[in-house]
Structure 1
Amino acid sequence: MTASTMKKTSFLWMAGTVLGSLFIGHQAFAQSQDRGQNTGETTQVSANLDPTEKVMSGQSQGGKNADNPPNLYGSPYDRSQKTLGTVRHPFVPVPGNESLFPESFNAWLKQPTMTGDWGGLRTRLQNMGIVPQGHYLQDTAGNPTGGRAQTTRYAHEVALGADVNFAQLTGRNFGMFHILLTERTGAGIGQQLPALNSPQEIFGSGETIRFTRLSWEMQWNRYVDTEIGWINTENDFAQSTMHWGMNLYCQFESNAICGMPQALASNSGYGYYPTAHPGAFVKLFPFGDERMLVSAGIYNVDPTISNTGYAWKMWLHNSTGAYLPFQIGWHFGGTDTKGRLPTNIKFGGYWDTSEVKNVYSQLAGFEPSGVNLGNLPVDKVRGRYGGWFEGDQMLQRDASDPNRSTVAFLSFTWGDPRTAIAPYYITWGIVRKGTFWNRPNDTISIGGKFNFVNPKLGSYVGQLQEIQGGNSGLLKPSGEHAGEINYGWRPAPWLTVRPGLQYIWHPGGTNRYKNALLIDFETGVSF
């Protein structure tokens, strides 16, 4: 892309998203100004998130409890009729005798966050509309058998951020400002096995400090939300449903499941957490509630954004094109604890305008060094496309305690056969919340993935093997599949300890290495 084309693209991108947002929201904004002086009856936005999920700023709990429907689509706003026109919440009294340290160990374990209320400062900030966030995550995994060699790897992530609610801060509904910084370090076991998808959900993206979100989000009314700034696609497209106030997919340590179907990242310019890309989206709620969602967005595509040296890179310097996703979703039934068992369904697709090499350019990554790959038919392709389906269904809810229930999910991702390394990709899982009689918040999760490598690569290698004979050393790529089982122990609202097992069939997508068994251990802490 030439410099002049880049400048035109940047200008059109910025102008289009800003003007589009203003056009859509003009009338709604005028109405919200008129109603902005009134205070709704919503409760305070909670800073307590599942400590082990890949937290995106702005996925805070809204409304009165974890049943609130906005969680289904990651919206931080209460979309109920009584709060239309304002997202303010009543002030919470600050305890006069609040201390910096809890009175006892048991009191500490009952706090919503590890660091508590900071002597009342956190409550004062939230009364002002400033909701601080922070977490520490660590993923440790070792393979006692299988793979290229036996090893153990540790990686962690520390994040700090805040959501600023301008309605609470100024009395007028000027939207929300999001900021999130993440720091990652450590090593990934997926590079040693090898594995097509990282078994550790928080390893990757340069292992450095970077902006993960820096944006302005606006709820124009109960029908329209928009956001613009430095964001990642994973926060709003093909994202997991929220159940029990937790990210359903991220009840698994494997990055093959956690966050979103990982084939979207390997097949296209989909912007994944914790990277941040210039982007914007619009979400439409046709019925003014959680029953239906229609959304579309535009995000910059930058293949270098996950590199360590580009951690603070802003704007469109290495843009190869634009990622254009769209999505439609439906919610049926009640909430997690009331009404009919809930069902959620989403369909989506994308067009990536980038010019990239076709799938044959990735064959060398599957083969030993020094083998003869012949005259690879590598060519460039302008534009990639694909789509996804996601669904989850609550299977049962305990009659004696509706806070205990079981949810199953399934996703299917399809990618452009010309360029996609994984044109067919499936994830599935079953998560049970409430295990033993005295463990209502613990979880047990069973799930897995089916990662089918593009059959064009297998066909090409098969032809080469016939030509070169049996001693060619070539490996026929086919796919990599995996399963995981884990137990999520939650001794405190701010602490999750998750031991588990993973089993990977055909590590690296070929038969070169034996199937691998992984013992993993994950810890999450909300500050």
Structure 2
Amino acid sequence: MKLVLITSDVFSRLVLFFVFLVMLFVSQSLKAEPLSPVLNNDDPNPLFHINQLQMPESNLDAGLETTPDQNQSIRKFQPWLEKNNATGDWFGVRDTLSKEGIDLGFSFINEVWGNTTGGMKTGSVYASVLQLATTVNLEKIIHWKGGTFYSRWLYLDGQDPSVNLVGDIFGVSSITGYSTIRNIELWLEQTFFDDKISLRVGQMDADSEFVISDYAALFLNNTLGWPAFIFTSIPNGGPGYPVGAPGVRLKLEPNDQFSFKAALFQGNVYPQNVNNHGFDWNLNSNQGYLYLTEAAYRYHCTLPGKIKAGAWFSSSTFTNFSNPNDSFPGNYGIYGIIDQKVYCPNQNVHQSDSKPNDIKITEVKSDQGLGVFHRIAFEPGDRNIFNFYCDSGLNYKGIIPTRNQDLLGLAFVYGLLSNQGISTIQQNKGTSPANTAFDIELTYQAQLTPWFTVQPDIQYVIHPGVTQAYPNAFVVGMRASMTF
């Protein structure tokens, strides 16, 4: 079994390296507008929702000058490079299944990380995740109006740079986890009243719908997805990637501007090496429950934006940091998120005939441009490591001419430790703790084809492990993603 896994790992790396070389050879001669997953406001994480792709127009003759022989060689690759998936339509089978109500999505994500200085030690690690997602439209299959079945499976492999190299609390990578085959989502959904109300029951990951910033979805640091102010505060990190949990979710969306969600999950998801396939379901009051609520409002004030406010409550039992012999019957926190577009290069501008100085932007015609995000959270310090947390950042889509779908991003993460949390860390680790944790991430996602992206990444980690025992770390990485 071990030999099979090693062989599979080596083969996957060779395949990815071959495809990368092909992309480098061909992409410079194609002026195709590469694709990127659409950042849907209600399903914002493009990493794990791999079917949200749309086809661009391309122009073979534009771009760098090429010889006739080179053009002929490029034309052989062009149909493949313009497909939505690397494996195409499977000779029509994929399209047939989709028309019948079954959509299959495969993705393979590889990362290589190197810690150049600081942290626990220098070195490099490799991590990957293979994903299979299945969406079944039950109305097409069995005439169940408004019904949907969804499942998502992961095969995780490799090492975690935070665990093996850096020792940080936020998490350098957002794809790592215990190496295994794991189910993360397995649910049924029913919609009512023209999709204005939906009820979802089954295994879910909360970070596909809750506590997420749309613009932060670009980044590779784990806390910019399922945030540290939650996963450090509830048993075993809660129902965030790579672990799901059974529960129920209700969503109300009366119009395009307003939405409200509430969910109840199993309170303890257990350690990943114990709940190693995702099916340690144990819904009972002794383990406690996790409750999440979130309201969102979309607006368009010159440029589009979205604001969210939410809260979480866990009914599990939590140690009182001020008195280890005492405990609290619950834990909670509140948070707010804002996503705002601040610049769009392709806008319709209207100038009033009666007031020449009255210029108004009437329509945003492109998703290109600069967007910013900010997320802030508060928690009680007597039972949590952090009592204040915030992250902020920006990303620019299409900053390089002819690279209209590429994304450049810069993000900052800050966590303020509670006084009680500092004392607890000092007792547990026997080291002098820091009172803050701070990360900076710079990243660039290049979409070379509709199904292939590469993303170099740099992170500077201040106070790894929220302790002064480790020097600040400078981490570099590369992600390559493929959809099949």
Tell me the TM-score range normalised by the shorter chain: 0.7 to 0.9
1:103 CA drift (Å): 7.6
Say if 1:486 and 1:516 are closer, same or farther in 2 by CA, change over 3 A: same
Hey, what does 2:245 align to over in structure 1? 277
Native 8 Å contact 2:431 2:467 kept in 1:
no
Native 8 Å contact 1:50 1:494 kept in 2:
no
Query: What does 1:94-113 correspond to in 2, within 5 Å?
Result: 104-113=76-85
The 10-residue stretch of structure 1 (302-311 or 412-421) with the greater mean CA deviation from structure 2: 302-311
Could you say what secondary structure the match of 2:93 adopts?
helix
Select the residue among 285, 289, 292 that pairs with 1:325. 292
Hey, what does 1:14 align to over in structure 2? none
Paired with 1:382 and 1:525, the residues of 2 have a C-alpha distance of 45
Native 8 Å contact 1:208 1:308 kept in 2:
no
Select the residue among 217, 229, 232 that pairs with 2:189. 217
The yes-or-no answer on 1:458 pairing with 2:430 is no
Could you say what secondary structure the match of 1:281 adopts?
strand
Hey, what does 1:427 align to over in structure 2? 391
Per the normalisation by structure 1, the TM-score is 0.72
Amino acid at match of 2:230: L
Could you say what secondary structure the match of 1:480 adopts?
strand
Hey, what does 2:374 align to over in structure 1? 410
Say if 1:473 and 1:133 are closer, same or farther in 2 by CA, change over 3 A: closer
Could you say what secondary structure the match of 1:513 adopts?
coil
The RMSD of aligned alpha carbons is 2.9
Say if 1:419 and 1:132 are closer, same or farther in 2 by CA, change over 3 A: same
Say if 1:359 and 1:155 are closer, same or farther in 2 by CA, change over 3 A: farther
CA offsets 1:318-349 (integer angstroms, 9 cap, x no match): 86111111111100018xxxxx4111000000
Paired with 1:119 and 1:474, the residues of 2 have a C-alpha distance of 61
CA offsets 1:263-314 (integer angstroms, 9 cap, x no match): 21111254102212110111112xx322001111110012415225532424
Hey, what does 1:380 align to over in structure 2? 327
Paired with 1:507 and 1:105, the residues of 2 have a C-alpha distance of 45
Aligned length: 406
Hey, what does 1:446 align to over in structure 2? 410
Native 8 Å contact 1:482 1:503 kept in 2:
yes
The yes-or-no answer on 1:265 pairing with 2:231 is yes
Amino acid at match of 1:325: L
Hey, what does 2:25 align to over in structure 1? none
Query: What does 1:71-470 correspond to in 2, within 5 Å?
Result: 104-191=76-163, 192-204=165-177, 206-221=178-193, 222-241=195-214, 248-257=215-224, 259-269=225-235, 270-285=238-253, 288-316=254-282, 320-333=287-300, 340-359=302-321, 377-399=324-346, 402-458=366-422
Amino acid at match of 1:341: L
1:421 CA drift (Å): 1.4
Native 8 Å contact 2:391 2:412 kept in 1:
yes
Paired with 2:241 and 2:308, the residues of 1 have a C-alpha distance of 20
Native 8 Å contact 2:296 2:309 kept in 1:
yes
1:415 CA drift (Å): 2.0
CA offsets 1:499-521 (integer angstroms, 9 cap, x no match): 02110111111222221111111
Paired with 2:342 and 2:379, the residues of 1 have a C-alpha distance of 30
Say if 1:186 and 1:358 are closer, same or farther in 2 by CA, change over 3 A: farther
Say if 1:60 and 1:328 are closer, same or farther in 2 by CA, change over 3 A: farther
Could you say what secondary structure the match of 1:310 adopts?
coil
1:428 CA drift (Å): 1.1
Say if 1:48 and 1:170 are closer, same or farther in 2 by CA, change over 3 A: farther
Native 8 Å contact 2:37 2:46 kept in 1:
no
Amino acid at match of 1:414: F
Query: Which runs of 5 or more residues in structure 2 are unaligned?
Result: 1-34, 57-73, 348-364
1:65 CA drift (Å): 9.8
The 10-residue stretch of structure 1 (232-241 or 288-297) with the greater mean CA deviation from structure 2: 232-241
CA offsets 1:59-93 (integer angstroms, 9 cap, x no match): 8549x999xxxxxxxxxxxxxxxxxxxxxxxxxxx
Say if 1:281 and 1:53 are closer, same or farther in 2 by CA, change over 3 A: closer
Native 8 Å contact 1:411 1:428 kept in 2:
yes
Could you say what secondary structure the match of 2:281 adopts?
coil
Native 8 Å contact 2:460 2:473 kept in 1:
yes
1:239 CA drift (Å): 2.4
Native 8 Å contact 2:243 2:278 kept in 1:
no
Amino acid at match of 2:381: P
1:50 CA drift (Å): 6.7
Hey, what does 1:5 align to over in structure 2? none
Runs of 4+ residues over 6 Å off in structure 1:
none
Native 8 Å contact 1:305 1:313 kept in 2:
no
Hey, what does 2:454 align to over in structure 1? 497
Paired with 1:344 and 1:232, the residues of 2 have a C-alpha distance of 22
Say if 1:314 and 1:145 are closer, same or farther in 2 by CA, change over 3 A: closer
Query: What does 1:479-498 correspond to in 2, within 5 Å?
Result: 479-498=436-455
Amino acid at match of 2:450: P
Paired with 1:492 and 1:323, the residues of 2 have a C-alpha distance of 40
1:110 CA drift (Å): 1.1
Could you say what secondary structure the match of 1:402 adopts?
coil
Could you say what secondary structure the match of 2:166 adopts?
coil
Say if 1:111 and 1:478 are closer, same or farther in 2 by CA, change over 3 A: same
1:54 CA drift (Å): 6.3
CA offsets 1:445-493 (integer angstroms, 9 cap, x no match): 100200222222336789x9xxxxxxx9740331210101111111111
Could you say what secondary structure the match of 2:329 adopts?
strand
Could you say what secondary structure the match of 1:439 adopts?
coil
Native 8 Å contact 1:280 1:299 kept in 2:
yes
Select the residue among 516, 519, 527 that pairs with 2:473. 516
Paired with 1:236 and 1:461, the residues of 2 have a C-alpha distance of 32
Native 8 Å contact 2:36 2:406 kept in 1:
no
Paired with 1:50 and 1:284, the residues of 2 have a C-alpha distance of 22
Say if 1:53 and 1:105 are closer, same or farther in 2 by CA, change over 3 A: farther
Could you say what secondary structure the match of 2:385 adopts?
coil
Say if 1:230 and 1:304 are closer, same or farther in 2 by CA, change over 3 A: same
Amino acid at match of 1:112: N
Native 8 Å contact 1:453 1:479 kept in 2:
yes
Paired with 1:461 and 1:210, the residues of 2 have a C-alpha distance of 31
